[in-house]
Amino acid sequence: MKKVGLLGGTFNPPHIGHLIMANEVKHALQLDEVRLMPTSIPPHKADPSDATPNQRLSMVELAVSGIPGLSASSFEVDRGGISYTFDTIKALKEQEPDTDFHFIIGGDMIDMLPNWYKIDELMKIVKFVGVGRPGTEGKTHYPVTMVQIPEIDLSSTLIRNRLQTGGTIQFLVPEKIGTFIRQEELYGIRSADNGS
C-alpha cells in the first residue's frame, strides 16, 4: 500500500518551514511522497489582500519543483469552496482506495483538534502526524503520531509583514517564491528590491 503524507494549509505564501516539515515527516515515517495541498477557501482564515487560490497553488508548485518525494496537490483548489479536512480525506480515499494517507499538522492545529469538523469520524479514515511548533502545547487525547523536527519559528504572517514593510525575506522562502511574489505584486509589497 502506498504511504502518502498530506500537508494542508493556506500556503500564503509557502516558506522553508513548510518544506522542512514535509521533508522531515517523509523521511521519519518512510512515506512514498508528501503532497502539499493548498486550501481553496480555508474555514478559519480569509483576507481580501491574500493571494488567490491559484496563485497560492502556483507558489507551492514552484516551492516543491525539483525536490524528490514532495509534490503539489491541486485537489482542494480544483474542488473550490470551503476546505474541511474530513470532506477532503473522504474524497481522496474514494479516488485512491489503496493509499494509506497521513495528515500532517503543526502543534497549533493539534491544540485545536477537538474543534475540527467531524473529528471523530476523521480519525477513523486517516492517520494524523503531528510536529512541534514553537509556543504550542501539541498535546491531545486523539491518536497523533509525533515526529520531532528542527523547529523554526516562521509563519506566512511574518513573511507578509516583512513584504509590507520592505523587509527581507531572503532564505525564508525559496528564491523562486520571492520572484513570483514580486512579479505578481502580492501582499502589498512596497519595494521592488526586498532582498529575496
- Residue 49 sits in a domain of what CATH number? 3.40.50.620
Residue 165 covered by a domain = no
Among 119-123, 135-139, 181-185, the minimum mean pLDDT is found in 135-139
Mean pLDDT to the nearest integer, 62-72: 97
Q: Is residue 171 part of a domain?
A: no
**Residue-level pLDDT at 194:** 43
Is the pLDDT score of 13 beyond 90?
A: yes
The verdict on residue 10 lying in a domain is: yes
SS (H, E, C) 73-125: CCHHHHHCCECCHHHHHHHHHHHCCCEEEEEEEEHHHHHHHHHCCCHHHHHHH
Cα–Cα distance for residue pair 35/20, rounded to 1 Å = 13
Query: In the chain, pLDDT over 70 holds for what percent of residues?
Result: 89
Would 138 be classed as within a structural domain? yes
Instruction: Tell me if 193 is assigned to some domain.
Output: no
pTM of the model: 0.89
* CA end-to-end span of the chain: 41
The count of domains in the chain is 1
Q: Region 43-54: what's the mean pLDDT?
A: 71
pLDDT at residue 188, as a whole number: 79
pLDDT at position 43 is 58
User: Which range marks the domain in which residue 75 is found?
Assistant: 2-151
Answer yes or no: is 46 within a domain: yes
Using CA atoms, how far residue 121 sits from 5, 64, 67, 86, 111, in Å, is 19, 31, 33, 8, 18
pLDDT, average across residues 63-72: 97
Q: Is 190 a domain residue?
A: no
Q: Are 34 and 23 in contact (CB under 8 A)?
A: yes
Would 179 be classed as within a structural domain? no
